[in-house]
Amino acid sequence: MASKNITINVKTTDGYDNLYPETYADIVKYDETTTVKGKIDEIDSGITTLNSTKENKATYVAYTMPAWVSTTFTTLETTYPSSSYNLEIQLSNNCTSDELDAWNDAKILGSITNNNLYAKGDYPTISIPTYLKIVEVD
């Protein structure tokens, strides 16, 4: 019996019953030349290979973004140049209402060409706690 089976939901008057029919994946054909088990093994192998070659290079850090002095915030590009790092930024879960308002009023945007931030609204004049996801570029 295959280690991966199909579940069939059969409607009853009380809802649904789950049926677990036996399948013989090593006999049932996926196509003219491949059995279902062969296809499952192929997919499992591909997933294992993908997981083993794709290292998790992400680092998560708490980062208090200092008050800005203009509409462009370049500190992140200086510390984490885009030639070496991709960044994601999000607000910390312990932001105060004032910090959240400053972030929202700033209408902060990022860039795909550098790790600078841009304020399209009023740039923040107070520090804002954030989290950075830092991923090394291959």
**Whole-angstrom Cα distance, residue 75 to residue 105?**
20
Question: Residue ranges per domain, the chain?
Answer: 8-53, 58-136
Q: Which of 133, 52, 51 is nearest to 92 (CA)?
A: 133
What integer is the mean pLDDT of 10-37?
Answer: 75
Number of other residues whose CB lies within 10 A of the CB of residue 128:
23
Any residues with CB less than 8 A from the CB of 93 and at least 6 apart, and which? none
Could you tell me the pLDDT band of residue 20, with boundaries at 50, 70 and 90? Answer: low
**Amino acid 1: pLDDT:** 45
The tokens of 71 are what?
């509409």
pLDDT, greater one: 5 or 100: 100
Using the 8-state DSSP alphabet, how is residue 44 labeled?
H
**Whole-angstrom Cα distance, residue 3 to residue 80?**
46
